[in-house]
Structure 1
Amino acid sequence: MSQPGLLKSGLRALRHAVERRRHPQRFILVDQTPWEEIFRDDIMSVRRYRLPAMDQITVDGEPVPVAGASARTPLLLVPALGIHAWTFDIMPNRSMVRYLMARGFDVYLLDWGRPSASQRDLHLDTYVNDWMPAAVRAVVQDSGASEISLLGYCMGGLLCMMYLGGHKDAPVANLVTIASPVDFHKSGAYGRLFSLVSVPALKAHAWFRLRLEPLDDSLFHIPANLLSLGFKLTNPPGVVASYLDLVRNISDRDYVTEYMTMGQWFNDMVDYPGAIVREVIEKMIIGNDIAGGHIRIGQRTARLADVRCNLLALAGSTDSIVTIRAARAVMGLVGAQDKRFEVVPGGHAGVFAGSKAPDHTWRLIADWLLPRSGRMRQRRPQPAA
Structure 2
Amino acid sequence: MQHPTPREAIWKKNKATLWYYPSSQKKYKTPLFLIYSLVNQPFILDLLPNESVIQSFTENGFDVYLLDFGIPREEDSDITVDHYIVDYIQRGVIRAIHHSNAEKISIVGYCLGGTLAAVYTAISNEPIENLILMVTPIDFQYFPSYDQWVEALRAGSINVDDFIDAYGIIPAEFVKFGVRLLTSPVYFSHYLSLLNRSDDPNYVLRWKLFNKWTKEHIPFAGGAMKQLINDFVKENKLIKGELMIREKKVNLSDIKANLLVVSSNLDHLVPKEQSMPIIDLVSSQDKTYKLLQGGHTHLFVKNNKLPDYLEEWLPQRSDPL
Task: Flag whether TM exceeds 0.5 (same fold).
Answer: yes
How far is the alpha carbon of 1:280 from its aligned partner?
A: 0.8
- 1:163 matches 2:120: yes
Aligned to 1:180: 136
Q: What SS does structure 2 have at the residue aligned with 1:37?
A: strand
In 2, the alpha carbon distance for the partners of 1:198 and 1:271 equals: 22
Aligned to 1:336: 284
- The aligned amino acid for 1:170 is E
The structure with the largest helix share of the pair is 1
In 1, the alpha carbon distance for the partners of 2:171 and 2:104 equals: 36
Aligned to 1:41: 13
**RMSD between aligned alpha carbons?**
2.6
How far is the alpha carbon of 1:112 from its aligned partner?
A: 0.6
Q: 1:197 aligns with which of 152, 159, 167?
A: 152
**5+ unaligned residues in a row in structure 1: which ranges?**
1-28, 53-67, 205-209, 377-385
How far is the alpha carbon of 1:219 from its aligned partner?
A: 3.7
- Tell me if the contact between 1:314 and 1:342 (Cα under 8 Å) persists in the aligned partners: yes
How far is the alpha carbon of 1:195 from its aligned partner?
A: 5.6
Aligned to 1:12: none
**5+ unaligned residues in a row in structure 2: which ranges?**
none
- Tell me if the contact between 2:67 and 2:92 (Cα under 8 Å) persists in the aligned partners: yes
Which structure: larger Rg? 1
In 1, the alpha carbon distance for the partners of 2:164 and 2:60 equals: 47
How far is the alpha carbon of 1:240 from its aligned partner?
A: 3.1
Distance 1:348 1:297, change over 3 A: same
- Tell me if the contact between 2:290 and 2:309 (Cα under 8 Å) persists in the aligned partners: no
In 1, the alpha carbon distance for the partners of 2:120 and 2:183 equals: 32
Aligned to 1:127: 84
How far is the alpha carbon of 1:170 from its aligned partner?
A: 1.8
- Tell me if the contact between 2:132 and 2:259 (Cα under 8 Å) persists in the aligned partners: yes
Q: How does 1:1-385 map to 2 (within 5 A)?
A: 30-50=2-22, 68-167=25-124, 169-190=125-146, 192-193=147-148, 196-197=151-152, 199-201=154-156, 217-219=165-167, 221-247=169-195, 249-350=197-298, 353-354=299-300, 362-376=307-321
Distance 1:261 1:216, change over 3 A: closer
In 2, the alpha carbon distance for the partners of 1:141 and 1:319 equals: 37
How far is the alpha carbon of 1:118 from its aligned partner?
A: 2.6
How far is the alpha carbon of 1:228 from its aligned partner?
A: 2.5
* Aligned length, in residue pairs: 321
Distance 1:227 1:200, change over 3 A: closer
- The aligned amino acid for 1:74 is P
- Tell me if the contact between 1:231 and 1:266 (Cα under 8 Å) persists in the aligned partners: no
Q: Deviations over 1:196-244 (max 9, x none)?
A: 335423xx9xxxxx98668763446322233223323433333333224
Q: What SS does structure 1 have at the residue aligned with 2:243?
A: strand
- Tell me if the contact between 1:293 and 1:333 (Cα under 8 Å) persists in the aligned partners: no
In 1, the alpha carbon distance for the partners of 2:2 and 2:140 equals: 31
- Tell me if the contact between 1:184 and 1:194 (Cα under 8 Å) persists in the aligned partners: no
Distance 1:147 1:51, change over 3 A: closer
Distance 1:174 1:69, change over 3 A: same
- Tell me if the contact between 2:76 and 2:169 (Cα under 8 Å) persists in the aligned partners: no
Distance 1:166 1:141, change over 3 A: same
In 2, the alpha carbon distance for the partners of 1:289 and 1:105 equals: 35
TM-score (norm 2): 0.90
- Tell me if the contact between 1:178 and 1:313 (Cα under 8 Å) persists in the aligned partners: yes
- Tell me if the contact between 1:82 and 1:271 (Cα under 8 Å) persists in the aligned partners: yes
In 1, the alpha carbon distance for the partners of 2:13 and 2:300 equals: 32
Percent identical among aligned pairs is: 27
How far is the alpha carbon of 1:247 from its aligned partner?
A: 4.2
In 2, the alpha carbon distance for the partners of 1:126 and 1:283 equals: 15
In 2, the alpha carbon distance for the partners of 1:341 and 1:252 equals: 35
In 1, the alpha carbon distance for the partners of 2:23 and 2:31 equals: 14
